[in-house]
Structure 1
Amino acid sequence: MNQQQVCNGVQVTDISSASIYISASMPARGRTAVNILVEEIEKRTGIRLPVLDTPPADTRPVIAVHYLTEQGQNAPGPEGFRISTESRERFTITVEGADDRGVLYGVGKLLRLMYMTESHLQAPSSISLCETPHFPLRGHQLGYRPKTNAYDAWTPEIYSQYIRELALFGANSIEIMPPITDDDRTGPLMIYDPLFMMQHVSEVCDSMDLDVWIWYPNMGSEDNWYPASGNDEEFMKPDYLKLQLDERDEIFGSMKRVDHVFVPGGDPGALGAQDLFDFMAMQAEVLHKHHPHAQLWVSPQAFNPTDEWLNVFFENVRKEPEWLSGVVFGPWEKHSLPELRQLVPERIAIRSYPDITHSLSCQYPVPNWDTAFAMTLSRECINPRPVAQKHIHNSTKDDGIVGSLSYSEGINDDVNKFVWSGQDWNPETPVLDTLKEFARLFIGPQFEAGVSQGLLALERNFDGPIATSHQIPVTLQQWKAMEAIADEKVQNNYRFEQGLLRAYYDAYIQRRWIHEAELESKARDILAQAPSLGTLQAMELAEEMLDKKETEPVCAEYKLKCDDLADRLFEHIGAQLTVERHKAIGVIRGAFMDGIDLPLNDMAFLKDAFAIIRQLPTEQERLNALNDKIIHRTNPGIGGIYDNFALNHSISRVEHIHSWADDPGYLKTPLLRHNPAILQKALATSSTSTYTRLIKETLDRILPGLSSPPLAWVTYLNSYYSAPIKVTYTDLDPYASYVVKVMGLWGGRVRMLVNGKYADDTDVKYRGLLDEYPITPDQIPDGRLEIVWVNEESGVGPYINELWIIKQ
């Protein structure tokens, strides 16, 4: 009699005593899938199921794994599988794969359905599935290089296991990188040669029949590196070309398997479009010498490519060179996916290259992200966004693509990878189903509901202003409740640790934001008493109040918990959450723990200003500077309006041509962007960028010698390419004159219009940064003011931080 019970609401049968039955003639890759089934069950239960090539004589449960023998209407298609259960003489689970991959994915689905705990193995009592993947391409990039936030610390064994886990959720492709990309060949955590790791990943993929892709930018060689802003003439010289082709010859020749090579048009690399195609034709010959059936792909992605570059690119695509198999839709492309499909001949496939790893300054940024999170969590935090990822995926599912292979820089996007694979397999899959399978297989059946809902809660933490979020403390309570019942194995599970860390981190940042906002309010109240207290004493008392951030910190235990979890994640999966302790390449490359205590108010700006004002010779000069430059800096005066576009009421004035749901990549819609680095002392360095130079000049206009910008300058309105930015004000006095003052920056290609008329001088290369524009009553006869920035050449849009409407 089979022992049955209910687990997580599902009727299950105990199969701890089961054996696995396979045909004696099962091919090697089928046997590999069966070995994976045996090993993954043993890891979680301690039970090693025997594998038999004849049916067992007794009535104990059986898992039968076979290749599909019949074809028909109800049979799965390529890479598909069928799973069914039967209870007669014995309880039998039958897994039938349509091919080698179908067997693997059937085994993966069975593992995701089972309930595995120490010494116990259970399976749903009734299973009837027949599945075929929706997209033929489903994969992820796992590059072994210093820039990543974890992969460079991995061993071959970790790579093997992670690739296996991705395959169990339906991935059929892994993308790797050559030894030379746009960063160093090696780093402090890389103990293996990059070429060796490429070869290892190729062999692991081949053992499971996964496609091997190489992302291969045109960057030159270790001895003669070609920068992203390089010179085409140098790259295309015969000696240099030979160097590049010889390098590729060596790498391709050393790989057991290469199915596809993807060459980005830019980011990195900066060849002219014609040179790009000429070089790819040469590269094709080298590739096919070693891998005759390998395919070549190219993308039009580049940092702000010119119309001329794009025209030449698509002219070459339309020639349909024999070596070109596909075009890749990736970050920083100007065209939407439907537009790209119209530009590319039907014969040539299109693959998606979604950025699932970054949260800001990226292809799919978190919409209207609170500045406090943008500053502290930065660009590459632990970022489960399951609902958003499903929507982004499905917003392009009907645009004629063959599938996707995600852009990833490490382990921070782990959840997103599995969600994306689930949608690649079947876009109708509820995201909660994938999260439950993720939690059940990787953490344990007892945490299926808690972890799946906890991951959704972490995503909701990003909704709306941090100051008023009721979700953040609830999310922490959920994760702390799971932490309280977790055994040592779960406590040391890196996937559990990642969710737990984010829950504590978010709560700590919220508590700090509330605390530091109050400290700043009290400090400003003290500064308002400067006429009676004296400026020196007022500034001293205000500074003491601001310093309570350090002398009277809130929730210090949360920070200690985050530090401990960060160290454990480094130990368990190589996650590099700090630069010093964990050897991350930079704060924006995953080291968000280095931002955990960044000031969340204007503390740095105020204290910097105090130091300058103290040096002024007279009390009146100090008082004037304190009032005009600090206390009333944002005051628009009676009848005026001040907008900081990081604030909800300000962003509501911005016209959004499309909703986030319709344009998650912001190709046609303005967005909020963030530049957390601006608050750090980088402005005091010798940076020669136009933006940094103009920021320095503007700070000098506030107070000579000032080097710390106000918090409002971290977040700005922007458009990636040609989308206009429109801000509308109503109910102004139609009989009054006003001055519009703008803190922002835009180049000569961007024009500013006020109620339809140009307000700027096209001869000026850069405008903005506290520039002023007069508004006369005849311009606002109905009290309505529309300010529009239009990008006339489809380049990078303006940066708009603050805006004042000052009544005269």
Structure 2
Amino acid sequence: MRSKIQSYSFLPTFKWSAICLVLLVSGFAHALYAQTVNLKNAVLMVSPAIPSPMKETAATVLSEEIAKRTGFGLKNAAVWPKAGVPTIALVLSTDTELFGKPAPSKRTGENPEFKKEGYRIVTETSEKGNIIWIIGADSRGILFGSGWLLRNLSMDKNILQLDEKADFATSPDYPIRGHQLGYRTTANTYDAWTTGQFDQYIRELAIFGTNAIEGIPFQEGEAPSPHFKIPSAEMRIRMSEMCQKYDMDYWVWTPATFNLKDEAKRKAEIEMHEEFYKRAPRLDHIFFPGGDPGENEPSDVMPFLKELQSRLVKYHPNAKMWISLQGFSVEQIDYFYKYIETEKPTWLQGVVSGPGSPPMAETRYRLPKQYQHREYPDITHAIRCEFPVEKYDQAFALTLGRESVNPRPYAFAKIHEKYAPFTDGFMSYSDGSHDDVNKVLWSMRAWDVKKDVHQILKEYAGFFFGKNIDNAVASGIEALEQNWKGSLAENGGVEMTYQFWKNLESTNPKLKDNWRWQMLLLRGYYDEYTRLRLINEQELEKQANEILAKADNQTITKSMDQALAIVNKADTEPIARDIRKHIEDLSDALYISIGLQTSSAKHKPRNPERGAVMDFVDYPLNNRWWLDDEFEKIKKIKEPAEQLAMLKRIATWENPGEGSYYDDISSVAKGPRVKTISDDATDVAWWDSGKSRKRLSSQLYQREPALDYVNLDPGARYIIRVAGYGEALLRVDGQRLSPKLYNKEENSFKEWIVPLSLTQDGKISVTFDGPEESDLNWRKNSKISDVWLLKE
């Protein structure tokens, strides 16, 4: 106690007394206000005015979710209980009373509980018993108000209480808040779900403010998943029923991957759609992507959608059509806008903006006001996607890859804040349970754009893991996001995050079968294991390079054998086996609990790219595979001088000597002079199903990097060397240089002599012009992976 007092000894006495007084008074005031509202053994009373099925659904959701956590449910009542028995009352904002008892005084129609989907929560405490009123503007307001209560209740065995009194109201900022849940082979989780798991997940999304679900009903050309519990045709109808039950809009995403000019296929497609429309009990919106996939002209697409709409309204009179302009050329986009300007189609509800669409601000500007604009954000991928992780370490790009457990709450809060003002809401692109935190973040920020991110995570943690650890888990999720920022080897926070989650795991054993818990633990352990491997394997390669650098005519073969033996210690003397084993156990547990397919050998995902992180958990983080292949090439060379030259280039690849510089263009650890962060900055090209034997630096690239060099020797001659593929149109200080060496093939080099006049001030800027390659598939575009500035 003394040390604490001493630490404040610099404060004047009167200030210290004032601080204590303020803390005492504020604490007393908070204690008065923060009276708990005990709800143990509460009865549930539901207004008869609430329409079915919500009248039954909300009561079921409250009772079942409370029972799971406390051991007791809520009893329904139509008569007010005797004094002392707490009550949860569900009423509409238009209700004046509930079973003879006046509802809280009616407010003006401008209040949130009178706005679409809005609600008010009011607590009444007295000796006669505690009452919590959930006052909904409509059916959804009742559900979302119930969700608020569940997120804020303290629930444990024989405990059910609200920690503070409440009287507040809220309504959503954006009307469209949804997520795509595609029951298809492509998904890494959903294809393994039962109808019960889908129902529970949709319920949980609703508890966090989601009001729409998007299915993918037609799986043209795709074989049924080996994990399907029921046929996809049946599941799409079950999902429609679930949306009806929870009063959520049911959307479907349905492209045309055939030529719409083919009359026979067009007719068959329309008939297939109509059969689905006829069977679905609820269907609100059809989303047709113009491209990704699909390559039809808008002149064919618009009449096709108009005909689909005529079939749709026969069974769902208020349902509408949507289109995205993904992949459309400038001419095609102009055609679309001219069409809606002249035709003014009333059957079209709006435009969706997704990956490959025109800029969202431009779309909202060009789109007439009567049409809505919906975002289609990719919240499920980390690289090769719409919103790649900036400065994603190469080690993560090669192991966790594109589709791993990926909580990015702060990044997505900023992304939502940037684009949401141009839209009427969003429906996310998701391919599994791994992005669960992101779904909740998007739903809650679309409800309230100012809601604190940490508070969102606390509510997430409190509901799924318990309020006793909500703050700790929220901080742990934030730490996982920080793991992905910057150089992994230099990020000591990864070790702290691992220890944090390991401690949470040991102190909360009852959560071991909770799939959300398992996912977060998996990331904590996986990140630490990857960092330990990276540090170890990079050190092994450094030792191997030292041996290669000392090779002479008599020791060429011996040096290669020794170097290879050293880098291969990553396999022969593996590290952190306890962590590795736990990662595997968590991976298998996730397959059992939620169907997450992380291993091709065990779980049969569609392909390794679809979240199969266990396929890459031991993928080399040094260049041992590449060295093995290079040494085989060197052994076939007859001239020792040529062999030694190749060994020297390998040994000095990343350390070209004093006064020279090397940058791995897309490595946050090994590219200190690189200024650019492009969408392709961590774009692993996915060669050989993710198991490429190429040099690690060549697997990531940029197309038009920019680099700055300072502290150069004004009297020295410099050469720029570039490794990559295809063209490299280099400029130094804005001046285009002519190369002295220019190979376009993979694993080859280009070189330029830097004019002395450009280095006289001791610094240069290097940039690259983008070659015209619009006719090429993106995988064939030019790439730049390594850049050297070599002092002669």
For residues 512-533 of structure 1, the C-alpha deviation after alignment (integer angstroms, 9 at most, x for no partner) is 1111111111111222232286
Whether 1:632 and 2:652 are equivalent positions in the alignment is yes
Aligned to 1:371: 394
Give secondary structure in 2 for the equivalent of 1:379: coil
Give secondary structure in 2 for the equivalent of 1:110: helix
Kept in 2: contact 1:741–1:771 (CA 8 A): yes
1:425 to 417, 422, 447: 447
Distance 1:24 1:250 in 2: 36
Kept in 2: contact 1:24–1:53 (CA 8 A): no
Tell me by how many angstroms 1:760 deviates.
7.0
Aligned to 1:186: 224
Aligned to 1:17: 41
Kept in 1: contact 2:184–2:224 (CA 8 A): yes
Distance 1:648 1:141 in 2: 33
Distance 1:288 1:53 in 2: 39
Give secondary structure in 2 for the equivalent of 1:340: helix
Whether 1:789 and 2:789 are equivalent positions in the alignment is no
Give secondary structure in 1 for the equivalent of 2:701: strand
Whether 1:87 and 2:111 are equivalent positions in the alignment is no
Kept in 2: contact 1:140–1:407 (CA 8 A): yes
Whether 1:409 and 2:431 are equivalent positions in the alignment is yes
Give secondary structure in 2 for the equivalent of 1:175: strand
> Given residue 150 of structure 1, which amino acid in structure 2 is its aligned partner?
T
Kept in 2: contact 1:642–1:803 (CA 8 A): yes
Give secondary structure in 2 for the equivalent of 1:744: strand
Tell me by how many angstroms 1:676 deviates.
6.1
Aligned to 1:292: 317
Distance 1:198 1:784 in 2: 62
> Given residue 141 of structure 1, which amino acid in structure 2 is its aligned partner?
Q
Distance 2:711 2:176 in 1: 54
Stretch of structure 1 that moved more, 533-542 or 315-324: 315-324
Kept in 2: contact 1:679–1:714 (CA 8 A): no
> Given residue 641 of structure 1, which amino acid in structure 2 is its aligned partner?
Y
For residues 457-481 of structure 1, the C-alpha deviation after alignment (integer angstroms, 9 at most, x for no partner) is 1111111211011111111111111
> Given residue 244 of structure 2, which amino acid in structure 1 is its aligned partner?
D
Consecutive unaligned residues in structure 2, runs of 5 or more: 1-29, 95-105
Tell me by how many angstroms 1:173 deviates.
0.4
Distance 2:433 2:167 in 1: 34
Aligned to 2:5: none
Kept in 2: contact 1:84–1:95 (CA 8 A): yes
1:728 to 705, 708, 721: 708
Task: Describe the shift of the 1:263–1:75 C-alpha distance in structure 2 as closer, same or farther (beyond 3 A).
Answer: closer
* TM-align CA RMSD: 2.6
Kept in 2: contact 1:263–1:299 (CA 8 A): yes
Stretch of structure 1 that moved more, 324-333 or 108-117: 324-333
Aligned to 2:734: 756
Distance 1:358 1:149 in 2: 12
Q: What is the 5 A alignment of 1:239-258?
A: 239-258=264-283
Tell me by how many angstroms 1:682 deviates.
6.9
Kept in 2: contact 1:139–1:421 (CA 8 A): yes
Aligned to 1:804: 788
Tell me by how many angstroms 1:727 deviates.
2.9
Tell me by how many angstroms 1:268 deviates.
1.2
Q: What is the 5 A alignment of 1:353-364?
A: 353-364=376-387
Aligned to 1:217: 255
Tell me by how many angstroms 1:136 deviates.
0.7
Aligned to 1:103: 142
For residues 116-163 of structure 1, the C-alpha deviation after alignment (integer angstroms, 9 at most, x for no partner) is 112221222411220101111111000000110100000000000000
For residues 741-783 of structure 1, the C-alpha deviation after alignment (integer angstroms, 9 at most, x for no partner) is 2223456xx954443344579xx99799522333333455645
Distance 1:727 1:621 in 2: 32
Kept in 2: contact 1:105–1:168 (CA 8 A): yes
Tell me by how many angstroms 1:793 deviates.
6.4
Distance 1:731 1:542 in 2: 34
Give secondary structure in 1 for the equivalent of 2:250: strand
Stretch of structure 1 that moved more, 636-645 or 516-525: 636-645
Tell me by how many angstroms 1:621 deviates.
4.5
Kept in 2: contact 1:371–1:714 (CA 8 A): no
Distance 2:484 2:756 in 1: 42
Task: Describe the shift of the 1:362–1:342 C-alpha distance in structure 2 as closer, same or farther (beyond 3 A).
Answer: same
Distance 2:558 2:674 in 1: 42
Kept in 1: contact 2:378–2:430 (CA 8 A): yes
Aligned to 2:473: 451
Whether 1:495 and 2:516 are equivalent positions in the alignment is yes
Tell me by how many angstroms 1:342 deviates.
1.7
> Given residue 306 of structure 1, which amino acid in structure 2 is its aligned partner?
S
Aligned to 1:160: 199
For residues 492-539 of structure 1, the C-alpha deviation after alignment (integer angstroms, 9 at most, x for no partner) is 000111111111111100111111111111111222232286112112
Distance 1:371 1:332 in 2: 25
Kept in 2: contact 1:378–1:676 (CA 8 A): no
> Given residue 413 of structure 1, which amino acid in structure 2 is its aligned partner?
D
Stretch of structure 1 that moved more, 30-39 or 455-464: 30-39
Task: Describe the shift of the 1:621–1:767 C-alpha distance in structure 2 as closer, same or farther (beyond 3 A).
Answer: closer
Give secondary structure in 2 for the equivalent of 1:412: helix
For residues 305-336 of structure 1, the C-alpha deviation after alignment (integer angstroms, 9 at most, x for no partner) is 53333333443344432222111111122x32
Q: What is the 5 A alignment of 1:141-152?
A: 141-152=180-191
Task: Describe the shift of the 1:276–1:24 C-alpha distance in structure 2 as closer, same or farther (beyond 3 A).
Answer: closer
Task: Describe the shift of the 1:650–1:514 C-alpha distance in structure 2 as closer, same or farther (beyond 3 A).
Answer: closer
Consecutive unaligned residues in structure 1, runs of 5 or more: 1-5, 220-225, 227-231, 657-665, 684-707, 719-723
For residues 20-42 of structure 1, the C-alpha deviation after alignment (integer angstroms, 9 at most, x for no partner) is 12234543222311121111111
Q: What is the 5 A alignment of 1:26-175?
A: 26-28=50-52, 29-69=54-94, 70=106, 72=108, 73-76=110-113, 77-88=115-126, 89-175=128-214
Task: Describe the shift of the 1:649–1:572 C-alpha distance in structure 2 as closer, same or farther (beyond 3 A).
Answer: closer
Tell me by how many angstroms 1:390 deviates.
1.0
Tell me by how many angstroms 1:50 deviates.
0.6
Distance 1:766 1:621 in 2: 22
Task: Describe the shift of the 1:760–1:580 C-alpha distance in structure 2 as closer, same or farther (beyond 3 A).
Answer: farther
Tell me by how many angstroms 1:637 deviates.
5.5
Give secondary structure in 1 for the equivalent of 2:601: coil
Whether 1:614 and 2:645 are equivalent positions in the alignment is no
Task: Describe the shift of the 1:618–1:798 C-alpha distance in structure 2 as closer, same or farther (beyond 3 A).
Answer: closer
2:360 to 331, 337, 345: 337
Tell me by how many angstroms 1:185 deviates.
4.2
Distance 1:340 1:158 in 2: 37
Aligned to 1:563: 584
Give secondary structure in 2 for the equivalent of 1:674: coil
Stretch of structure 1 that moved more, 261-270 or 632-641: 632-641
For residues 49-102 of structure 1, the C-alpha deviation after alignment (integer angstroms, 9 at most, x for no partner) is 111112112321111111112451435211010001111221111111010000
Whether 1:717 and 2:737 are equivalent positions in the alignment is no
Task: Describe the shift of the 1:744–1:624 C-alpha distance in structure 2 as closer, same or farther (beyond 3 A).
Answer: closer
Task: Describe the shift of the 1:470–1:175 C-alpha distance in structure 2 as closer, same or farther (beyond 3 A).
Answer: same
Whether 1:315 and 2:300 are equivalent positions in the alignment is no
Whether 1:602 and 2:640 are equivalent positions in the alignment is no
Task: Describe the shift of the 1:579–1:173 C-alpha distance in structure 2 as closer, same or farther (beyond 3 A).
Answer: same
Aligned to 2:374: 351
Kept in 2: contact 1:678–1:709 (CA 8 A): no
Task: Describe the shift of the 1:131–1:75 C-alpha distance in structure 2 as closer, same or farther (beyond 3 A).
Answer: closer
Kept in 2: contact 1:640–1:804 (CA 8 A): yes
Distance 2:472 2:311 in 1: 51
Give secondary structure in 1 for the equivalent of 2:489: helix
> Given residue 166 of structure 1, which amino acid in structure 2 is its aligned partner?
L
Identity %: 34
> Given residue 573 of structure 2, which amino acid in structure 1 is its aligned partner?
E
Whether 1:276 and 2:276 are equivalent positions in the alignment is no
Stretch of structure 1 that moved more, 187-196 or 571-580: 187-196
Task: Describe the shift of the 1:411–1:519 C-alpha distance in structure 2 as closer, same or farther (beyond 3 A).
Answer: same
Distance 1:532 1:159 in 2: 67
Aligned to 2:12: none
Distance 1:774 1:315 in 2: 52
Tell me by how many angstroms 1:276 deviates.
2.3
Tell me by how many angstroms 1:379 deviates.
0.2
Aligned to 1:660: none
Distance 2:549 2:720 in 1: 26
